């Protein structure tokens, strides 16, 4: 079964764009489906890569043969970022349209993608979301193995996840020479996986990994640049600088988190909470990228109440929607603590609690309690704020 079985929610732009996403997220499959007639340069093809490395004129020679407004795909563009000069030229002079695909933003940033500022939008491909999987979606399976297409469709998900992490270290990190100290980075990974859904303690992370604090900051940037994780900032409002809070760390897929920690057995009770919260975080990120869900999102933790927190605070047109994720099948009064505290925040429009139970409820003080299917329905229909 190929990834084309599942239609993706990403819609093809009408102008040139960068398409970034982790390895195995289905970028190439989607491109072949969306742009079947495009002229394609696959830089993973070593013969082509070496040829263009020796003589970049071969690239422009092919582009000169194409009609105006033709589509051109350059896969793994980060391997040869100097092609962006020619891309820029052909967008300007011939009105060609480019799909610039890659699994790492690091080399592109170093090469200066500002060359294409305003001429190529940025899009991202993420692991499968339930809307794409349809009737095949299963929450327990998603939390246990993740939803990366290359893993979801593998016969042995355990073996595929192990190989995926090894390939990440070998191809994305070692081959691209992103770190000088590969053993240090390898020690860092499982410790960083423990911070999935947690506020980052960089000093503690550095101590446990046996590397410097500065090195850990660089490693965290690599996780983001290779699209394996992202940091969620704290909502600050009008906090003074000394009260500034650390961001939370979320990996892009629960299967990757478990594989890095070498957890391949059945899901434990202790794991379920952070993995469920991380799954919700990634859904919010995907839908905020592909739909008008929100303009920004944060976590909320007021300085005056150290034990009070709301998992997610979405911002749209000056209004806020607070959302708490609970993996339990039943809710207790304690689960509403943060959502009740945030009621005083100016311009708070909605408060929601997402849980693994079956019934949709509303509390006396206006908090919506949504089971996962209802939450997904609102995301997919664009009625989240209604």
pLDDT at 138 over 70: yes
Nearest to 353 by CA among 374, 381, 324: 324
pLDDT at 203 over 90: yes
- With both helix axes pointing from N to C terminus, report the angle between 182-194 and 202-209 in degrees, rounded to the nearest 10: 130
Model confidence band, residue 170 (pLDDT cutoffs 50, 70, 90): confident
Model confidence band, residue 242 (pLDDT cutoffs 50, 70, 90): very low
Q: Report how far residue 17's alpha carbon sits from residue 122's, in angstroms, rounded to the nearest whole number.
A: 6
pLDDT at 234 over 90: yes
Model confidence band, residue 34 (pLDDT cutoffs 50, 70, 90): very high
- CA dihedral defined by 132, 135, 141, 147, rounded to 10 degrees? -10
pLDDT at 6 over 90: yes
Q: Which residue has the higher pLDDT, 348 or 5?
A: 348
pLDDT at 322 over 60: yes
Strand order in the sheet with 121-124: 39-42, 71-75, 97-102, 17-20, 121-124
Query: Measured between alpha carbons, how far is residue 201 from residues 205, 245, 306 in Å?
Result: 6, 11, 15
The domains found in the chain, sorted by start residue, are 3-124 (3.40.50.300), 130-275 (1.10.10), 291-381 (3.40.1350.10)
Average pLDDT, the chain: 91
**Where is average pLDDT lowest: 64-78, 79-93, 271-285?**
79-93
φ/ψ of 151, rounded to 5, equals -90, -45
For the whole model, what pTM was predicted? 0.92
End-to-end CA distance of the chain: 38
Give me the residues paired with residue 82 across strands. none
Q: Which residue has the higher pLDDT, 179 or 92?
A: 92
The whole-number pLDDT of residue 3 equals 41
Asked if residue 109 lies in contact with residue 82, where contact means CB atoms within 8 angstroms, the answer is no
Instruction: Read off the pLDDT of each residue in 238-263 and give the average, rounded to a whole number.
Output: 82
């Amino acid at each position: 079964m190929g990834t084309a079985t599942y239609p993706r929610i990403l819609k093809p732009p009408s102008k040139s764009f960068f398409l970034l996403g982790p390895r195995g997220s289905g970028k190439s499959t989607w491109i072949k489906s969306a742009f079947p007639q495009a002229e394609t340069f696959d830089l993973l093809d070593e013969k082509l890569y070496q040829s263009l490395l020796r003589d970049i004129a071969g690239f422009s020679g092919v582009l000169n043969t194409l009609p105006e407004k033709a589509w051109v795909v350059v896969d793994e563009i980060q391997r040869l970022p100097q092609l962006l000069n020619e891309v820029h030229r052909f967008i300007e002079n011939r009105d060609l349209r480019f799909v610039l695909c890659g699994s790492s933003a690091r080399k592109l940033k170093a090469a200066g993608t500002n060359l294409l500022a305003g001429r190529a939008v940025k899009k991202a491909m993420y692991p499968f979301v339930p809307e794409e999987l349809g009737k095949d979606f299963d929450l327990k399976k998603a939390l246990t193995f993740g939803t990366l297409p290359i893993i979801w469709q593998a016969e042995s998900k355990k073996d595929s996840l192990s190989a995926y992490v090894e390939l990440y270290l070998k191809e994305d990190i070692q081959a691209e020479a992103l770190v000088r100290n590969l053993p240090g980075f390898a020690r860092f990974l499982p410790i960083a996986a423990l911070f999935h859904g947690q506020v980052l303690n960089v000093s503690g992370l550095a101590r446990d990994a046996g590397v410097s604090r500065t090195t850990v900051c660089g490693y965290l940037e690599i996780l983001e640049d290779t699209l394996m994780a992202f940091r969620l900032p704290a909502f600050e409002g009008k906090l003074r600088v000394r009260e500034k809070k650390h961001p939370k760390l979320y990996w892009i897929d629960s299967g990757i988190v478990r594989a890095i920690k070498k957890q391949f057995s059945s899901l434990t009770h202790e794991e379920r909470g952070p993995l469920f919260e991380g799954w919700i975080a990634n859904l919010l990120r995907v839908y905020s990228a592909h739909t008008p869900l929100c303009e920004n999102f944060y976590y909320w933790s007021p300085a005056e109440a150290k034990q009070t927190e709301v998992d997610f605070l979405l911002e749209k047109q000056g209004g806020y929607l607070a959302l708490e994720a609970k993996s339990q099948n039943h809710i207790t009064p304690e689960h509403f603590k943060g959502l009740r505290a945030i009621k005083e925040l100016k311009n708070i429009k909605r408060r929601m609690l997402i849980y693994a139970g079956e019934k949709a409820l509303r509390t006396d003080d206006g908090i919506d309690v949504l089971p996962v299917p209802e939450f997904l329905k609102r995301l997919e229909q664009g009625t989240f704020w209604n």
